[in-house]
């Protein structure tokens, strides 16, 4: 089995690792691969069971994962699943998107589940206080354990999605404005030129110039750079100022860095 994951602050990486550990304990061989790294090779032709684990972005599939899907040849797969981590999947269209993408390649999405964790989208909400954060992450692990059981039985099931049309319109809007997604990033005087922001970026969108990040307009707004900065000196607009930064407590900085 291969599980491709995409993760900025570790929620989806934790979910992927959690599922992989459950499969391994049940005697299945699992290979975990970062989508951004996998995309550096040409067409992807996995075999057997294939899972995708990624965050919900703007009620849909992250823009980078949309590109990843274009590289996928599902022809040798026999069971396909997706697990999406999110703040709350109240509103979403991602599974419709994925179902359509796989259908256009002549195959089906067998299972699709959401895991509500917590939202890292700081312009909208701050990260909750520690006790609430821990409660939410514990609840997410309970849900992941249940999902692992379902996937081990190779169930065919899909969580319900609400407000598909509105979700699709908002998601399409962000895709159309992709070149402007990093326009509001700023870096403060506290920057120490460590390069972590550049190293975490899945699209190599950050170049360091005289030790300071310059965004190159290929952003997918995963917010990895903003959350991983050790000086908390990257902001996206005004609303992220004074808000907490986040990394899943069971994921290390090194696991998130790509170069």
* Interface of this chain with ligand SF4, residues 207 to 246, rule: CB under 6 A: 213, 215, 219-225, 229-231, 233-234
DSSP string, the chain: -EEEE--SSSHHHHHHHHHHHHHHHTT---EEEEHHHHTTSSSB--EEEEEEEEE-BTTB--HHHHHHHHTB--TEEEEEEEEEEES-TTS--HHHHHHHHHHHTT----EEEEEE-----TTT-PPPPHHHHHHHHHHHHHHHHHHHHHHHTT--EE-----HHHHHHHHHHHHHTGGGTTTTEEE-TT-----HHHHH-TT--EEEETTEEEE-S------HHHHH-TT--EEETTTTTTPPP---TTS-HHHH---
Binding of residue 205 to ligand FMN (CB under 6 A) = no
Using CB under 6 A as the binding criterion, the count of chain residues that bind ligand SF4 stands at: 29
Question: Around Cβ 102, how many Cβ atoms within 10 Å?
Answer: 19
- Residue 74 CB, shortest distance to ligand FMN, in Å, is 23
Binding mask 209-238 for ligand FMN (x = CB under 6 A): ------------xxx---------------
To ligand SF4, the closest distance from the beta carbon of 222 in angstroms equals 4
Contact call for residue 197 and ligand FMN (CB under 6 A): no
Judged by beta carbon, residue 47 or residue 190, the one nearer ligand SF4 is 190
Q: What whole-number distance in Å separates Cα of residue 127 and Cα of residue 26?
A: 35
Which of residues 16, 65, 120, 201 is near ligand SF4 by CB under 6 A? 201
Question: Looking at beta carbons only, is 35 or 109 nearer to ligand FMN?
Answer: 35
Per-residue contact string for residues 32-71; x = within reach of ligand FMN by CB under 6 A: -----------------------xxxxx------------
Binding mask 74-103 for ligand FMN (x = CB under 6 A): -----------xxxxx--------------
Which one of 10-18, 32-40, 102-110, 202-210 is the stretch in contact with ligand FMN (CB under 6 A)? 10-18
Q: Please say which residue, 119 or 158, places its beta carbon nearer to ligand FMN.
A: 119
């Amino acid at each position: 089995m291969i599980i491709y994951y995409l993760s900025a602050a570790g929620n989806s990486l934790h979910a992927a690792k959690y599922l992989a550990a459950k499969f391994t304990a049940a005697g299945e061989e699992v290979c975990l691969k970062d989508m951004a790294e996998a995309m550096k090779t040409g067409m992807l032709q996995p075999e057997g069971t294939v899972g995708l684990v990624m965050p919900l972005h703007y009620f849909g599939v992250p823009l980078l994962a949309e590109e990843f899907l274009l590289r996928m040849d599902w022809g040798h797969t026999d069971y396909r699943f997706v697990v999406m981590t999110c703040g709350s999947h109240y509103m979403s269209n991602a599974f419709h998107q994925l179902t359509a993408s796989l259908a256009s390649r002549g195959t089906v999405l067998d299972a699709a589940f959401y895991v509500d964790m917590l939202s890292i989208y700081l312009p909208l909400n701050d990260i909750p206080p520690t006790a609430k954060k821990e409660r939410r992450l514990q609840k997410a692990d309970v849900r992941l354990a249940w999902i692992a059981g379902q996937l081990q039985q190779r169930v065919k099931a899909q969580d319900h999605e609400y407000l598909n049309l509105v979700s699709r319109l908002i998601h399409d809007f962000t895709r159309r404005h992709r070149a402007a997604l990093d326009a509001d990033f700023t870096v403060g005087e506290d920057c120490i030129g460590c390069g972590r922001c550049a190293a975490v970026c899945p699209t190599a969108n950050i170049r360091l110039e005289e030790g300071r990040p310059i965004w190159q307009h290929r952003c997918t707004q995963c917010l990895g750079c903003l959350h991983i900065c050790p000086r908390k000196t990257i902001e996206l607009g005004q609303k992220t100022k004074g808000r907490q930064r986040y990394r899943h407590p069971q994921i290390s900085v090194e696991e998130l860095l790509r170069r």
